[in-house]
Each structure stands twice: as C-alpha cells, then as structure tokens.
Amino acid sequence: MSNQSKQYPRFRIGARIEHFILMVTFTVLAVTGLPQMFSLESAVARSMIDLMGGIELVRLIHRWAAFFLVGGSIYHVFTSAYRLYVKRERPRMMLGRQDLTDLIHLVRYNLGLTDEHPKMPKFNFGEKFEYWAVVWGTAIMTITGFMLWNPIATTSVLPGSIIPAALAAHGGEALLAVVSIVIWHMYNVHIKHFNPSIFTGKLPHEQMKEEHALELERLEAGGKPWPEVERPVLERRRRIFIAVSVVASALILTVLVWAFTFEQTAITTIP
C-alpha cells in the first residue's frame, strides 16, 4: 500500500527552529540547574558541578542558557503572532472539550473498555498538555529566575520573603518540568515509537492514523495542511507585521539585555 509509506506534512521550519532552541536551552538549564539544587545531598551533583568547571561557571552557563530560552520564547510569540495575524490560522493549540473526551476515550481504549481508538486532531490532548506545561513552566521559571538573579530590584517593589519563595518555586517547577519531560515526552516520542516530525517536518501514515486520525482524514480529503492567503492580502499584512515586529523586537531585545545586566547585586571583592 502506497498509503502506508506516505509522509504527511506536520511542522514548518519555524516550529522546528523553536523546538531546537527549546531543546538545547532546556537541557543546558536542567544539567546546570539540578546539580545546584541537589549539591548538598548528592555526590553525583557535586561532581557534575566540578566537571562543568565549578559553581561560579555553572551559574554563568545557567544564566546564558536562560537568556537564550527567554529569547526563544519571545521568538515564539512573534511567530505565533505571524501565524494568527498574517496567515489567519486557527489557534489549534487552544484546549477544548474534545481534549477531555479524547483523554477519557484513550484511557478506556487502553484498558480494553472499548476497541475504538479515539480520532484525534492535529494537536492531540497530550501535545496540548505538554505545550501549555512548557508555556506555564517557562513563565514561572523566567519570573522566579529573574527574581533570584536580581534580588535587590525585586525587593525594591516586593517583600523580601519573595526571594526564598522564588527559590523554592524555581526548584519545584524545575523538578516538575524535568520529571514531566522524562515520563511524558520520552514515552510518547521516543519509547512508544520514535516521532521524527519535529526534525523532518513530516509524520508517516501509521503514526498519523494512530495519533492524529482527524487531521489525516482532513488531509486525505484534500485539505491543505496550512491555510493559504491570497498573495496581495498576504503581502499587505506582512508589511505591517514586519514594521511592527522590527520595532517591537528591537525594543524587547533592549529591555531583555538590560534586564539581564542592570543589577550589580553584590560587591565583587571579599567582604
């Protein structure tokens, strides 16, 4: 059957770049962050810190990785804006009632209560869950990380006890993110079967059928993977978008660099 070996478009280059930035920065942040969290309890954590060049260097790497993670997140906001405004795509990541029924349906199927596999859309409930977990997690980590990095600026507007609370949240959220990735992401895209679509942009028929049956049906019926906009309309919207985004991104980048460098928390000499 030619259908079986057929590949279906899933991710454009923008999404793949975003995933790559997230993958690298998340890994670096976890590898430099968790050993700091467990440095007192675990000899493994301590030797990791030692291997990476000592605690001061590990903190520096962690902060640079954070800079790129936040940069990547802002890039995501811009690409999303482009899709929503210029391309007028439906926000398909939004959670809906169907996600809940799909979840219950899948569990029933897994337990053998039904023999019918749920038909899921382009982004199924598991992927949406993961997406929003990343959005939520990155927001928490960015805010608490900023507080820990700039405690003097933070305490000039908030009570002092926000700093140890931010430390607790930063560690708790980090652990939550890492265990979720290890259980959920590893199982779904590596163990269950390797899902290459985030690197190749395409998914084979078999996996489409299992995980995105609705999308598969739509594509089979001749639907376009992404909506197409008439050329003159697209050009006009694009011009507006580029004008706005250049100004906005320049501004945001300036604020970002300033936010990452403005505070001199402590003296650099020995007290």
Binding mask 198-237 for another protein (x = CB under 8 A): ----------------------------------------
36 touches another protein (CB under 8 A)? yes
| CA 158 to mean position of chain CA atoms | 28
Residue from 9, 54, 223, 227 binding another protein (CB under 8 A): 54
162 touches another protein (CB under 8 A)? yes
* Window of 9-17, 68-76, 239-247, 260-268 that interacts with another protein by CB under 8 A: 260-268
Mind giving me the DSSP string for 183-219? IIIHIIIIISS---HHHHSEEEHHHHHHH-HHHHHHH
Cβ closer to another protein: 110 or 261? 110
Residue from 7, 98, 142, 180 binding another protein (CB under 8 A): 180
* Window of 7-15, 72-80, 184-192, 239-247 that interacts with another protein by CB under 8 A: 184-192
Residue from 1, 161, 194, 228 binding another protein (CB under 8 A): 161
Whether the CB-CB separation of 211 and 120 falls below 8 Å is answered with: yes
Residue from 165, 198, 214, 219 binding another protein (CB under 8 A): 165
Minimum Å distance from CB 134 to another protein?
A: 14
Mind giving me the DSSP string for 79-96? HHHIIIIIS----TTS--
Whether the CB-CB separation of 58 and 37 falls below 8 Å is answered with: no
* Window of 47-55, 69-77, 82-90, 229-237 that interacts with another protein by CB under 8 A: 47-55
Residue from 156, 194, 230, 231 binding another protein (CB under 8 A): 156
Minimum Å distance from CB 212 to another protein?
A: 16
Question: What is the SS3 assignment for 8?
Answer: strand
Nearest CA to 87 out of 202, 238, 218 is that of: 238
Tokens found for residue 226: 């992404």
Residue ranges of the alpha helices (H) in the chain? 2-5, 13-37, 43-51, 55-81, 97-110, 125-149, 151-155, 162-180, 186, 197-200, 205-211, 213-220, 231-261
Please tell me the distance from the alpha carbon of residue 211 to that of residue 217, in angstroms, as a whole number.
12
197 contact partners, CB below 8 Å, separation of at least 6: 10, 11, 203
Minimum Å distance from CB 223 to another protein?
A: 28
Residues 75-114 that bind another protein (CB under 8 A): 103, 106-107, 109-112
Cβ closer to another protein: 110 or 200? 110
Nearest CA to 140 out of 171, 176, 170, 164 is that of: 170
Residues found near another protein in the complex (CB under 8 A): 36, 39-40, 46, 49-50, 54-56, 103, 106-107, 109-112, 126, 151-152, 155-156, 158-165, 167-169, 171-173, 175-176, 179-180, 183-184, 187, 192, 263-271
